[in-house]
Each structure stands twice: as structure tokens, then as C-alpha cells.
């Protein structure tokens, strides 16, 4: 496949190299030409502008820092992708982008009869180098099927999520969980270390316990998606007790734990709603009530 690849940073650079290794004909562009040295040595062609990278491509891929850069590369001035891409080609954005922005750009390109997909990736630089990324695709499913063989060259977990913007939404959900979890880990480990337990020992016990075994994530399809909170694995009243002991220990050791305290308030709200005898995952409904939506599988 003839591919125009724009953005050769920490993620884009290795992805473009893997597409070259997979046998695709790749034309590359970046604001820093020196970033393309390995690609040019591997047989890629250089394009002076995003429009030039798109001109002869069947597929245009962008891997850029954020929404502002994506919009500038897509439609900015006379050098934007939209001024070079053919109506038979597809543009797929691999960036972590705003669903609102990619949907708006999708509309602009659609007016010219050009297909657009959002296809953000996850797996970090190691995943980009080893072609083991997760690729979360939103847009027309038939268009997705058309370019999937190329996407398989950058990831081994390529999947269709839904309509345009769905991939971006899925990526933001993933990253929010990852970033928020790290902050909660920071609270828990600072509390544990300050209370006298070595970090390595804490890590081993967290890794060996229910959290480390992935039980909480598995509770989503097993409990929450079904609204099945009567199947009690760990009662909510006990979860509130345990978290209360943790926040009490934090206060004793002068460790600020803002996230843990917020979660404790939600557990108290759930208890006030009479959910204490249900599984601890029933506390999920407190946020559902605030958001006005139920997270259930069809």
C-alpha cells in the first residue's frame, strides 16, 4: 500500500519504520527532516509538506502531539493534507485527539468525498517499536476493513470501536484510568512507606492481591455491565471499612490522600442508599447517578 506518514516523533517514527519493514511504499514528512534519516535509509521517500505526503498515497497516517497540530496538518493553509489527498484515499489519525475535533475534520473532508478515521494507539514507545500497539479505530467500518492490513503493521491489537470519534473516546477513557490510577498508587504507596513498610514489600503484596491479579477490571463485564451487584465477592460495607482504616492511617502519618478521601465519600453515599450488603462494585452506581447514565452491556 502507498502510505503517506506525517509525524516522526517517539511514536510515529517507529510506526513508520515498521510500515516500511512490512513492505509498504512509504512517503514521510516531519517538521524536522533529520527525524526521517532512518526512514530514508530504509527506502522511504521524503515529502516537503503534508500535502505532498498525501498526493500519491492510498492511506495517509498522522501521529502528532495533539488537536491543534492535527488540525494544522489536516487543513492548515495550502500545505494541508486536504489539498493533496485524493478522493480514493483514506486519512487515519493515530494521534491522541479530541473526539470533537476529529468529528469536525471528518465533516470537512466528507464534503470533498474523502474518508477519515480516528485510530489512536496505545502501548507506548516499546509497543511502537515492536509493532504490538493497540489501535482503536472509529469511523466507517468498511473503510476500516480496507486499511486494516496496513494498521496490522503497527499493532497486534487492532480493533473497530464505532462511529467517527469512538476511537478517540476509547483512548481518553484508557488514559484517564491509567493516569488516575497512578495518582492513587502514589497516595497508597506514600502512606504505606511512611507507615513503615518497604516499597518492594508493598509492591509484592499489591501484585499478589486481587488488584494485581486484574480482578477489578474483570468486575466490569462480570458485575457492572450486568448490574449484577447481588453476587457478593467483597461487600460494600467491608470496602468502606477498609478504606476508612487506610484514610485513618494516612491521617496518623500526615499523608494527604485527596483521591482516597473522595472515594470514601462515595462509599458513604452508597451506604446511605442502602447498598452496604451488596458487592463493593455497587458503589459504581453513585457515579452513574451523578452522570445520568448506566454502564450496561446490551
Backbone torsion region of residue 220, taken as left when φ is above 0, otherwise alpha when ψ lies between -120 and 50, otherwise beta: alpha
Element containing residue 62 per DSSP (H, E): strand 59-62
Contacts for 76 with CB less than 8 Å, ≥ 6 apart:
none
Element containing residue 268 per DSSP (H, E): helix 258-272
Give the DSSP letter of residue 235: B
CB atoms within 10 A of CB 292: 6
CA distance 202 to 199: 5
CB atoms within 10 A of CB 55: 18
Active site (catalytic) residues? 171
Amino acid at each position: 500500500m502507498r502510505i503517506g506518514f506525517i509525524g516522526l516523533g517517539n511514536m510515529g517514527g517507529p510506526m513508520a519504520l515498521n510500515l516500511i519493514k512490512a513492505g509498504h511504499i512509504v512517503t514521510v514528512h516531519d517538521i524536522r527532516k533529520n527525524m526521517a534519516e532512518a526512514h530514508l535509509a530504509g527506502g522511504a521517500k521524503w515529502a516537503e509538506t503534508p500535502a505532498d505526503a498525501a498526493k500519491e498515497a492510498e492511506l495517509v497516517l498522522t501521529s502528532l502531539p495533539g488537536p491543534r497540530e492535527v488540525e494544522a496538518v489536516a487543513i492548515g493553509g495550502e500545505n494541508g493534507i486536504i489539498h493533496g489527498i485524493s478522493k480514493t484515499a483514506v486519512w487515519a489519525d493515530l494521534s491522541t485527539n479530541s473526539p470533537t475535533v476529529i468529528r469536525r475534520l471528518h465533516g470537512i473532508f466528507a464534503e470533498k468525498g474523502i474518508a477519515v478515521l480516528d485510530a489512536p494507539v496505545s502501548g507506548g514507545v516499546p509497543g511502537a517499536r515492536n509493532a504490538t500497539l493497540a489501535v482503536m479505530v472509529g469511523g466507517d467500518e468498511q473503510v476500516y476493513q480496507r486499511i486494516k492490513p496496513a494498521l496490522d503493521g503497527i499493532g497486534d491489537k487492532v480493533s473497530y470501536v464505532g462511529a467517527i470519534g469512538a476511537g478517540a473516546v476509547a483512548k481518553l477513557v484508557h488514559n484517564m484510568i491509567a493516569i488516575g490510577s497512578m495518582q492513587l498508587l502514589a497516595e497508597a504507596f506514600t502512606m504505606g512507606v511512611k507507615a513503615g513498610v518497604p516499597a518492594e514489600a508493598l509492591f509484592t503484596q499489591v501484585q499478589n492481591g486481587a488488584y494485581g491479579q486484574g480482578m477489578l477490571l474483570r468486575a466490569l463485564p462480570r458485575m457492572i455491565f450486568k448490574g449484577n451487584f447481588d453476587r457478593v465477592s467483597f461487600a460494600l460495607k467491608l470496602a468502606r471499612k477498609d478504606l476508612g482504616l487506610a484514610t485513618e492511617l494516612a491521617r496518623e502519618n500526615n499523608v494527604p490522600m485527596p483521591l482516597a478521601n473522595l472515594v470514601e465519600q462515595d462509599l458513604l453515599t452508597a451506604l446511605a442508599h442502602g447498598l452496604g450488603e451488596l458487592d463493593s462494585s455497587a458503589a459504581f452506581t453513585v457515579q452513574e447517578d451523578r452522570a445520568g447514565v448506566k454502564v450496561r452491556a446490551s
